[in-house]
Structure 1
């Protein structure tokens, strides 16, 4: 490049460019560059070397460019060629759609530049496929939003129709703010105000003798408790005594309360005295009561069990295995479940309950299998036996029959032999009981007796109990 060219460049003129590098500059500046004659014949095709989306277009050279345009693009090109032929050089760009034997199609935005006195034109093109793909994605996203909006409107309409049609009085309350988000006409009537006035109002302020937040806390506590009970309150506007039954749920990351309102005068009194008594025993009884499924997973537990196991709330026990709270774990659980499901019930089983903090309490457990339902359940009644054990420890009571049997041996055997024989009888009885409780599962029986498996086999052989087929 000469100094004259440098001077022209700095003054705004184009510098002198060698023909050997002009083609590289053009191909790099545009995605696609085509040199055509004034009648549209393709003289040369240059493709940007960094752009691989066009493939090989060498077969275009020598052909008319109209052969590679879609039907609607041909008039656009001819209009531009006429303008150039008349001496009017348009500055605007044009968008043409190329096609090649119908195999593919791609849009290109061209600007035309006259490069010679013979009428040859340089078409510098920019590939519009990325923009077209983005537009297509935007259209698809817009259509998806429209579909979601229509679906939302449909669900909202169904919800409104349902709320206005049901006879139950229902109120939706935001669990965090305590404000009414939705209320139907039946609930508004019980509260004594139009539904529009109650929407977004603080629900607790619609009732008498309720401090701010007190009713909301009571509703949330009742909703998450195992034995949910209606909460009685007096409506401030209508002066009606109402029973509020809450149900908590989560939607779109927010917690809500569905409160069903019922007039206290219209509420049906409980007529089943036995059910009330059993419910009172479950809630206030001194013995721990636990309900589980057939696998021993806790579904509900009363307050006495929570106190025994040092559990803060029933939700922390629900879903866990009962074996987690027994000293011998799965051994105790399996013995209780297997015997209860086989015989229908198991009267007394002694073990220890382990609290959340590692404390142990001696207990006696009875188990009952409830299989007269679609989902069978097990109920365990657990009684604190720690005080009974303390009373038993100073001495072991012996029955009159056992005392007579021992006394008959006096005179016929030495004291050492009498004690040895008596110990063997008691030991054999304990081993037989453990084997029977575990249904001949010797691993579980050994753990229950505090023996190693090898020691248990020695004692089984000693007392002739190895003839039974082991279960484990």
Structure 2
């Protein structure tokens, strides 16, 4: 993690020759030791001739054993160029700057920030270091906290997405009202469908504008009752468009504000009439197979096309059977499909096979989706038979086309043939095409073809016999 800071302003001593005049060697050594966690004295060859360590953590990491060793040998491999640059800059009299260098340790690496400067005409160099282990620990904790916050934020976003999906897909009208004013804050798409209003046009309006005048007073009583208790009994009201439905309300608080969750349930749903009867009729007559499973991939329901594919007699016979008994190559396809569904929530045009209960096998394409539910999430699979599709027209016999066509044929073997066999086949194919191209380029001169391919003549003849290329009788 990079921490940006404003440029520092240095103020050197005005008269160092008089201010520090008379300091003894012991006093100078004490100043150097106090100003740093580690201080090194190097000779002109970069060998450590003396050192002082003021940090207990550094002393425990064996830094006292560096005496008479080249400084560059005490650092990690990626830090060696920094040591070389610091020593070269000091010898050349260039302005020194702080550099972060890592040292190997038993439990990892020890980061130290160093500053080097010349200590006399004999080539000695004094290196001051500041231990960064405390800063590294703080940075690591900051990163961990940041990652924890990001994970919590991601969980909140996912939870919000699930509840937003539920809000948007509900068959009954769901509205969120401001409790004091009774104005509509949010409304799901079913509100527009049930009330006959344009989607989004009701937001900001008073809730009573959706109701017939004869039901407004009763609705206000229900809302008032919901604000003073956890919930209210559902009552029958008439909408402004003349339809009747059940009205229920409950209050919740968020960010110190009170809101009302209002539901309008049409009579058809309240009386148990299936609003999706038309969709169910279409699925029962469509030519593509359709099956719904639980998260354990056990069949909950299936349409007649799926029963025809699997040669099952009835929907009851298919119920609770494992889907992998019929769909996918064993131990391969369903794992891939499940991973895709769990990670992305959808799967499109996945090529696989379907097996009947008698062992017949046909090529199919699978499109699947996850239907989230807090109590019982389900998977929906649409299975299309592609065995009778017209095969693509073969293209020109150019080498590039042959490679593309052969590679496409090899990819279709995935799941049917072990990968090592596919790799061996593809290697042999490429090798054969390279030899044919070399023979064509050299007008069937095998010695030249061997040079082009970087092979010995004997090796080329062996491969020609292996692939049945050329006339080897001569």
TM-score category, normalised to shorter length:
0.3 to 0.5
| TM-score normalised over the length of structure 1 | 0.47
Larger Rg: 1
| TM-score normalised over the length of structure 2 | 0.46
